[in-house]
Amino acid sequence: MAREDEKVVMTSVANVPTVVKDAAQPVTETLLPSAPRGAEILVKGLIKNGVDTVFGLPGGAVLFIYDEIWRFRDEITHYLVRHEQGAVHAAEGYARATGKVGVALVTSGPGATNAVTGIATAYMDSIPLVVITGQVPSTMIGTDAFQEVDTFGVTLPIVKHSYLVRDVRDLEAIIDEAFQIAKSGKPGPVVIDVPKDITAQLCDNPRRIHAEYLFENKEEPIDETTLELVVERLINARQPVFYVGGGVVTADAADDLMKVVETLQVPVTPTLMGLGGFPTAHALSLGMLGMHGTYAANMAVSESDLLVAVGVRFDDRVTGKLATFAPHAEIIHIDIDPSNIGKIKKAHISLVADAKTALRKIAGKLENADKAKISKGKAKRESWWNKLNDWRDSVPFSCEYSETEIKPQHLIEELYKVTNGDATIVTDVGQHQMWAAQFYPFKRSRQWLTSGGLGTMGFGLPAAMGAQLACPDTQVVAVVGDGGFQMTNQEIITAIQYKIPLKVIIMNNGYLGMVRQWQEMFYDRAYSEVDLSISPDFVKLAEAYGAQGLRAEKPEDLRRVLEEGLSFKGVTIFDIVVSKEENVFPIIPAGQDTRNMILK
Amino acid sequence: MQHTISILVANEAGELSRIVGLFSARGFNIETICVGKTLEPAWSRCTIVTYGDDRVIEQIIKQCSRLARVREVRAVTRLPHIEREMALIDVSVKAGSERQEIMNLVKIFRAKVVDISHEKMILEASGHWQKVDTFIEMLKPFQINEVTRTGCVAINRLSPFEQSLEAKA
C-alpha cells in the first residue's frame, strides 16, 4: 500500500501551519528548535507505555511514523507483516498470551479496512489492543482523497474507544489514554486514527483535556452484604456449579478460583474462552460447557440449583435455548462489566467486579467462615457428586481410532503427549478448534488462545506468531483447518524473516469441516460449496516459503512427524491429513437445550 | 414505556455518533435527541427520549455508561423531573379572522408570534411535549407549512415537594 503521490501530500502538509499555538493566547514566543514532531511524540508515547513490539505494514499516510520507528529501532521492534489482518491478529496473540496491550500500526484506507477483522475479533473477546491507523492529511479529510476511508466511522461499533487526532497538542494525552482504556476494566481494542499532517507538525505545548476523569478509578467497592449473601449461598448449595469464562483468564484469577472451589468442593465448568482458567484434568472440573461441551457440564448446569457465573456473558453458544438454561438455578453473576449483568439472563445476585477481586474476597470470607458449616455443606453435596460422576463416566469425550486414517481427535491427543501438555495452543474457528478444546487438557491460563466471539478463520497462524514472540520460552502451536490456513498463510514469511519458530498444524480434511458437518446434520447432506479437496500442496508451499514442510497421512506416521517438526528450530508447517467426514460430538444444535444433545 | 435519559458526554467530535451508533447497533429506539454545552465547555449534555421496558432501559443506561467519554447517565424520568420541548411552526393565514383565531390559540398555549407577513405567521411554542403536540394539533385546521421541533430537554426536580405542586397545577 505504499503507492502514493508524495508531491500532493507534501504540498498539503506544507499548507498546514507547522506550529500550532493556543488560539486564545497571542503568539509571541517561538517554538523551540528541538520541538518534536507528531510522529516522534507518538512513538515516544508508545515507548513510555511499555511497548517494545509493534506489528505493522507501512503506507503513505504513516511515513512520518515509520521514519520515527526507524529512529527508535533500538527501543521498539517492528515486525513487518504481509497483510494488515495479520498485524492485528499477531498483536492479539501477543496480548492474549501475556495480558499486555498489543500494538498494530497500519496505513490509511485499505490498511485500516484490512485491520477491521482483527479489531472486531479483539472486541468480541475483550482483548487489549491499540491500533494506530494512518489518515490522509486533516485538510483533505472528506474529499475522497487517495487511500481515504472514514476509519473512525468504520470501526465505531467494534472498538472500546477510538480517536481521530485533530490537534497535535492532544496526541501525547491520547496515547496515554488509549493504553489506559484498552487495558482497564473490561479490556478492548482502541483505534487511534492519525492524519498525516499531525505526524509532521512540531509541538512543544502538549495539553490534556479529559485526562483527569479517565484516570479516575471508576470501580465501585463490592457491597459487603451482597458478598456475605454469596458466601452463604455457596456454603449451603446442594447442587452448585461454577460457570467460568474469559473474565477469569483476563483477570488472572485462576488461583483464587481454585482456592474457592477447593475449599467448598464444588464443580467447575469453563466456557471455550475460560479454558485454562481452571485445569481441565482437575478432579473438580467437569470440562467445557456449551454446544460442544461435555455431557456432564451441560447436565450439571441444567440440574444445578446454584449457578455461579464468573467472567461470562451467557453467550448463545453456551446457553443454547435460553428458557431452559439452568432453569432451576439461582444465578450469581460476577462480571466487571455492569452491562453484562441482566443482558441475557436475569441474575438473582450480582457482583460488579473483576473475577480476581471478587473471588479473592469470597476466598477470604470462606477462610474466616465456620468450618463446621462448610463441612456440613460439603456433606449436602455428596449425592450431587454421585450424579456428576455418573454423567462424567457415562459420556466422556471419545473417538474411534482407525488403523488406516488419522482421526482428528487422535491428532490432538498425540499433540498433547508430544508437548507434555505444556504447549500454548492457538486455533482458528471450526471443527479443529472444538477438537483441540476437547482433547487437549489445559493446565494454565493463557495456554489456549482462540477466536471465540467473532469466530475468525485465519486468526490462528498470525496470532501464534505474536504469542510465540511474546513467550519465547514456551512452545506455541497453531492448530488450524485447511480452510482458515489459506486465509492468512502469507504470514509464514514474516515468521521466516524474523526467525520466529512458528509451528502450524493443518488439520487437513479437504473440507470447510464445521459447515460440512452442519450441512450433513441439518441440511440433508447437501454439501454446498464446502469442498476444499483442490488445495495447494501444503508441504511444497511451506518449502517455497523456506519453512519445513511435513506431511502425515497414516496413523503410524503421526507421532514421528509431530516429534520431528516440533523439535525443529525453525518454522514448521504440518499437513496432517485426517479422516474427511468426522463430526464434532457431542453437539447441542443451535437454540436447543441439553435434552437435545446429540452424543454421536 | 417512554423514558428520558440524560447523558453527560465529552464535547468532542464523534462522541455523539458513538452514542447514536450504540442505539442502532443494539436495536434501541431514539424518539428525540438533543445536545448542548454545559457549564464546563469540555462536557456536553445529551438528552435522549427513548422507549422500552425496564430491562431495555437498564441496558441502554449500562451500555451508554460503558462508553469511555461518558461521565454520567441518568434516567431522568425515574425521579420527579421537568421536561420541555420547543417548536417553531410556520402557518398560513388567509383572513383577518383566521389570524385572530390563531392569536387566541397562541394566548391559550402561552406561545409567541416570532415572525409575521401578510400570508403567514411563525409561532414559537414551548412546554411539555404533550402540550406542544396539542398546540400543533389545534393548528391543523389552518394550513401548517412547516414544523421544526427541538426534542426534549429534561432536568430533575429539586425536591419531591415541588413535584407535588406541579401535579396539583
The per-residue pLDDT for B95 is 79
Cell numbers for A417, please give them.
503427549
ipTM of the complex: 0.84
For residue B22, which residues of chain A lie inside 8 Å, CB to CB? Answer: 157
Q: How confident is the model at residue A208 (pLDDT cuts 50, 70, 90)?
A: confident
pLDDT tens column, A547-571: 999 999 999 999 999 999 999 999 9
Closest to A246 (Cα-Cα) out of A218, A275, A220: A275
**Is the CB of B55 less than 8 angstroms away from the CB of A342?**
yes
Q: Would you place residue A7 in the very low, low, confident or very high pLDDT band (cuts 50, 70, 90)? A: very low
Contacts of A344 in chain B (CB under 8 A): none
pLDDT class of A212 with cuts at 50, 70, 90 = low
Q: Is the pLDDT of residue A14 over 70?
A: no
SS3 at position B117: coil
Kindly list the distances between the CA atom of residue A364 and the CA atoms of A136, A368, A381, in Å, as whole numbers in the listed order. 54, 7, 22
Nearest by CB: A342 against B13, B17, B58: B58
- Scanning every residue of chain B, which has its alpha carbon at the shortest distance from the alpha carbon of A211? B69
Q: Under an 8 A CB cutoff, do A339 and B59 touch? A: yes
* Catalytic residue from among A146, A180, A265, A497: A146
Residue A517, Cα to own-chain centre: how many angstroms? Answer: 25
| Rounded Cα gap, residues B69 and B71, in angstroms | 6
- A490 pLDDT above the threshold of 90: yes
The predicted structure's pLDDT at residue A16: 43
Among B88, A192, B67, CA closest to B46: B67
* Eight-class DSSP state of B158: S
**Euclidean distance between CA atoms A315 and A344, whole angstroms:** 8
Coil/strand/helix, residue A9: helix
Question: Residues of B with CB below 8 A from A157's CB?
Answer: 21-22, 25
Query: Which band of pLDDT confidence, cut at 50, 70 and 90, is reported for residue A1?
Result: very low
Is A538 known to be catalytic? no
Rounded Cα gap, residues A245 and A275, in angstroms:
8
Residue A178 has pLDDT above 80, yes or no: yes
Q: Is A129 left (phi over 0), alpha (psi -120 to 50) or beta?
A: beta
Strand spans (E) along A408-529? 424-427, 448-450, 476-481, 503-508
Residues of A whose CB is below 8 A from B55: 342
- pLDDT for res A8: 37
Lowest-confidence range among A151-165, A210-224, A441-455? A210-224
Over residues A309-318, the pLDDT tens digits come to 999 999 999 9
CB contact under 8 A, B68 and A153: no
DSSP A335-386: ES-GGGTTTSS--SEEEES-HHHHHHHHHHHHHHS-HHHHHHHHHHTHHHHH
Is A164 in contact with B13 (Cβ distance < 8 A)? Answer: yes
Distance CA A506, CA A442 (A): 20
User: How confident is the model at residue A198, as a pLDDT?
Assistant: 97
Of the pLDDT bands very low, low, confident and very high (cuts 50, 70, 90), residue A20 is very low
The pLDDT confidence band at residue A33, using thresholds 50, 70 and 90, is: low
Given this model, what pLDDT does residue A215 score?
59
* pLDDT for residue A289 is more than 60: yes
| Shortest CA gap A456–chain B (Å) | 20
pTM of the model: 0.91
> A156 vs B69: CB contact, 8 Å cut-off?
no
How close, in Å, is residue B104 to chain A by CA atoms? 49
The pLDDT tens digits for A343-372 are 999 999 999 999 999 999 999 999 999 999
Tell me, yes or no, if A75 is annotated catalytic: no
pLDDT on residue B78: 85
Strands B43-51 and B2-10: antiparallel
Contact (Cβ atoms closer than 8 angstroms) between residue A239 and residue A381 = yes
**Which portions of chain B are predicted below pLDDT 50?**
168-169
Q: How far is A342 from chain B (nearest CA, A)?
A: 8
Q: How far is CA A137 from the centre of its chain?
A: 33
Cα separation, B91 vs B138, whole angstroms? 12
- Which residues on B lie below 8 Å from A193 (Cβ)? none
A146 a catalytic residue: yes
- List all residues 6 or more positions away from A144 whose beta carbon is below 8 Å from its beta carbon: none
Choose from A150, A156, A313 for mutation: most chain B CBs within 10 A.
A156
**Which residues have CB under 8 Å from B71's CB, separation 6+?**
A213, B8, B9, B10, B43
Distance between CA atoms of residues A567 and A176, nearest Å? 41
Mean pLDDT of A380-394: 95
Between A and B, how many residue pairs show a Cβ–Cβ distance under 8 A? 40
Contacts of B12 in chain A (CB under 8 A): 210
A477 to A31, A208, A462, A509, A557: CA distances (angstroms): 52, 43, 11, 19, 19
The pLDDT value given to residue A292:
95
Angle, helix B96-108 to helix B129-139, in steps of 10 degrees: 170
Q: B14 vs A162: CB contact, 8 Å cut-off? A: yes
Average pLDDT score, chain A:
93
Select the residue from B12, B54, B55 to test the A interface by mutation, using most A Cβ atoms within 10 A.
B12
Asked if B59 and A209 come within 8 Å (Cβ–Cβ), the reply is no
The predicted-structure confidence for A84-137, as pLDDT tens digits, reads as follows: 999 999 999 999 999 999 999 999 999 999 999 999 999 999 999 999 999 999
Indicate yes or no: CB of B14 within 8 angstroms of CB of A166: no
Looking at mean pLDDT, say which of A5-14, A155-164, A208-217 comes out highest: A155-164
Phi first, then psi, for residue A339 (nearest 5°) are -70, -20
Cβ <8 Å between A339 and B67 = no
Q: Alpha-carbon distance A32 to A203, whole Å?
A: 9
pLDDT band at A182 (very low <50, low <70, confident <90, very high): very high
B14 contacts on A by Cβ (under 8 Å): 152, 162, 164
